[in-house]
Amino acid sequence: MSDTPLLEIRNLSIHFPSSRGTVHVVSDVSWSVRKGETLAILGESGSGKSVSTSAILDLIDAPPAVISQGEILYQGRDLLKTPKDERRKINGKNISMIFQDPLAALNPVYPIGWQIAETLRVHGVDRQTAHARVIDLLTRVGIDDPERRAKQYPHQFSGGQRQRIMIASAIALEPDLLIADEPTSALDVTVQAQVLALLKQLQAESGMGLVLITHDLSVVEKVADRVVVMQNGRIVETGDAAAIMAAPQHPYTRKLLDAMPGRHGFTPQLAVTSADRPLLEVEHVSRVYGVAPGKLKPGNTGGVRAVDDASFVLRSGETLGIVGESGSGKSTLARMLLGLEAPTSGTIRFDGHDLNGMSAAQTYTVRRRMQFVFQDPTASLNPRMTVGQIVSEPFAIHPDVLPRSEWRGRAIELLERVGLTADHIDRHPHQFSGGQRQRIAIARALALQPEVIVCDEAVSALDVSIQAQVIDLLKTLRRDFGLSYIFIAHDLALVRDFATSVIVMYRGQIVEQGLTTQIYTNPQHDYTKRLLAASGDHLSSAA
């Protein structure tokens, strides 16, 4: 490591003029990164971490954005004073960048080999050399059969492979500095670990500097040398990664660390006993796409088995965590529990009644006792309804529950119950933050006093500190109303701190189930072990 920084940002400020006054997105931010060093920029959404790094590559739209002060020094030269044409020559060659969602970041209509080669060609590499380099790069990032794969399109790859392709393109010209903007946030936990390992390995080989933008403390813990913590466009704390993780100075950093799921010692949630009443019984349920319901014959291998022979019981008062990666079938299972999809075979019983053999009237009653909260509160709340209308809509669907004159009063009670206030009732969803919107969705789910709430990745889209608040709310509701939850998540730490028992799903099958304590302290199945290992040591060791 040399002493002169590779890239240095000095007193950078960026603001957007808006109708409601100027919005200061980045205020007086300074940091630097050296050769071979990994700097993590940590912050929650809206902290300005992405905007400040986008400025390095001239990727922010100015206007409307205004860079009001500061310098971005690359090898001693101020990029902000460099003509656009010359900055473009630096982009991709000296400094390159990868982004959060590799599917969106790759152009869908061109083969991936062509896209990597384009990076080489715009910086002066001829066609033949470029092709040979593409094959070499794909091999290096671990894409098998590169000659054939290079001709394929982004949609033909998995999420992890796409991010590898992005990385191949970013390191094609052996840049001095790689900026990675949430490179693993859209990926499954085992894939996350692989991508981070690949980045570290490439860094070790080339000695490039790495700037890692993330909201995920476990990523910081695993790979960063130094950390910059940002909040509301300002740097609140900066220093050695290990030191900050061990002894954070600023209250905000402490709050972030505190909110990190799995951070605290393992306090097992009170488990239920087999004496408790079974609420939901799932027996040999399968969902095979491409085969009509009831037509599934034993040994039939046709179709896609999204859920394969799943059986479990949810007892009254229990919180059942369902853990798995994308494509494991956990969401399909949830949709079947909610009756949004019919199982191809098997039965689901709610309080002794078969969900599928039910009349419309029976279904209507069961729906009242089983509610749901989805992942994206922005999408699951109707943007044209006021919060009051949203929360009291269940009363309109079940008119015998409450006379119309009492709707508003009950809606206010529900809002206060989830930590909102009475004056929120006439506002629309867009006037709330992500965490508040999810509270509204929870209030709606509570309206009919259900016995079970199915939460499908209900906190995954939220910032970590907000996540912790929502989980606390769910715990309080569990205690006060004796609610049972089905809690679907890909975040193991989160499930550990909330669920009483856990189901692990892999490729449509339940590979392991049991009490949370058992699963986390003594995992049996290989896949569970891999999952636990990938999500960090503190999970199993803290137990």
Partner 1 sequence: MGGFIFKRSLQSVFSLIALIVLVFFLARLTGSPADLYLPQDASPEVRFQFNERLGFNDPLYVQFGRFLVGLLHFDMGESLQFSRPAVDVVLNAFPTTLMLAAITMPIVIILSVITGSLAAFRPGGVFDRLASFISLIGASTPNFWVAIVGVLVFAVTFRILPTSGTGTPLHWVLPVAVLTLRPTGVLVQVVRTSMITALSSAYVKTAKARGVGSRAIIFVHALRNGLLPVITVASDQAAGIVNGAVIVETVFGFPGIGKLMIDSVMLRDFAVIQAAVLVTALAVFIINILVDITYALVDPRIRYS
Residue 215 or 444 having the CB closest to partner 1: 215
Residue 97 or 414 having the CB closest to partner 1: 97
Does the footprint of partner 1 cover residue 99 (CB under 8 A)?
yes
Task: Kindly tell me which residue out of 24, 35, 123, 200 binds partner 1, with binding defined by CB under 8 A.
Answer: 123
Task: Kindly tell me which residue out of 41, 65, 79, 97 binds partner 1, with binding defined by CB under 8 A.
Answer: 97
Does the footprint of partner 1 cover residue 108 (CB under 8 A)?
yes
CB 503, CB 321: distance < 8 Å = yes
Q: Bridge-partner residues for 173, per DSSP?
A: none
**How far apart are the C-alpha atoms of 444 and 415, rounded to whole Å?**
9
CB 470, CB 462: distance < 8 Å = yes
Part in contact with partner 1 (CB under 8 A); list of ranges 103-111, 211-219, 275-283, 388-396: 103-111
**How far apart are the C-alpha atoms of 237 and 230, rounded to whole Å?**
7
Residue 133 or 367 having the CB closest to partner 1: 133
Q: Which of 151, 109, 160 is nearest to 131 (CA)?
A: 151
Part in contact with partner 1 (CB under 8 A); list of ranges 40-48, 89-97, 435-443, 530-538: 89-97
Number of other CB atoms surrounding residue 220 within 10 Å: 24
> With contacts defined by CB under 8 A, how many residues of the chain interact with partner 1?
29
We find the least distance from the C-beta atom of residue 61 to partner 1, in angstroms, to be 9
Q: Which of 465, 7, 42 is nearest to 223 (CA)?
A: 42
Residue 108 or 265 having the CB closest to partner 1: 108
Residue 91 or 214 having the CB closest to partner 1: 91
Does the footprint of partner 1 cover residue 74 (CB under 8 A)?
no
Determine the 3-state secondary structure of 339 from DSSP. Answer: coil
Task: Kindly tell me which residue out of 10, 24, 35, 89 binds partner 1, with binding defined by CB under 8 A.
Answer: 89
CB 465, CB 260: distance < 8 Å = no
Sequence-separated contacts (24+) of 293-298 with Cβ below 8 Å: 293/342, 293/343, 293/344, 293/345, 294/344, 294/345, 295/344, 296/344, 296/345
We find the least distance from the C-beta atom of residue 92 to partner 1, in angstroms, to be 4
We find the least distance from the C-beta atom of residue 165 to partner 1, in angstroms, to be 11
Does the footprint of partner 1 cover residue 153 (CB under 8 A)?
yes
Task: Kindly tell me which residue out of 38, 47, 169, 535 binds partner 1, with binding defined by CB under 8 A.
Answer: 169
We find the least distance from the C-beta atom of residue 63 to partner 1, in angstroms, to be 10
Residue 163 or 528 having the CB closest to partner 1: 163
Residue 152 or 347 having the CB closest to partner 1: 152
Residue 57 or 442 having the CB closest to partner 1: 57
Determine the 3-state secondary structure of 93 from DSSP. Answer: coil
Encoded one letter per residue, x for contact with partner 1 by CB under 8 A and - for no contact, window 215-234 reads --------------------
Task: Kindly tell me which residue out of 42, 55, 130, 166 binds partner 1, with binding defined by CB under 8 A.
Answer: 166
**How far apart are the C-alpha atoms of 116 and 152, rounded to whole Å?**
12
Encoded one letter per residue, x for contact with partner 1 by CB under 8 A and - for no contact, window 34-73 reads -----------------------xxx--------------
We find the least distance from the C-beta atom of residue 469 to partner 1, in angstroms, to be 30
Task: Kindly tell me which residue out of 90, 195, 453, 519 binds partner 1, with binding defined by CB under 8 A.
Answer: 90
Residue 117 or 477 having the CB closest to partner 1: 117
How would you classify residue 25: left for phi > 0, otherwise alpha for psi between -120 and 50, otherwise beta?
alpha
Number of other CB atoms surrounding residue 482 within 10 Å: 10
Task: Kindly tell me which residue out of 105, 445, 455, 471 binds partner 1, with binding defined by CB under 8 A.
Answer: 105
Q: 3-state secondary structure string, 312-337?
A: EEEECCCEEEEECCCCCCHHHHHHHH
Residue 16 or 153 having the CB closest to partner 1: 153
* CB contact burial 63-91 (16+ within 10 A = b; e otherwise): eebeeeebebbbeeeebeebeeeebeebb
Does the footprint of partner 1 cover residue 106 (CB under 8 A)?
yes
CB 159, CB 186: distance < 8 Å = yes
Q: Which of 120, 119, 94 is nearest to 176 (CA)?
A: 94
Phi and psi torsions of 212, nearest 5°: -115, 115
Does the footprint of partner 1 cover residue 184 (CB under 8 A)?
no
**How far apart are the C-alpha atoms of 519 and 222, rounded to whole Å?**
23
Does the footprint of partner 1 cover residue 109 (CB under 8 A)?
yes
Part in contact with partner 1 (CB under 8 A); list of ranges 22-30, 114-122, 299-307, 341-349: 114-122
Residue count of the chain: 543
The torsion angle over the Cα atoms of residues 468, 472, 473 and 476, rounded to 10 degrees, is 170
We find the least distance from the C-beta atom of residue 179 to partner 1, in angstroms, to be 8
Does the footprint of partner 1 cover residue 122 (CB under 8 A)?
yes
Does the footprint of partner 1 cover residue 366 (CB under 8 A)?
no
CB 54, CB 258: distance < 8 Å = no
What is the binding site for partner 1 (CB under 8 A)? 57-59, 88-93, 96-97, 99, 101, 104-110, 118-119, 122-123, 153, 155, 166, 169-170
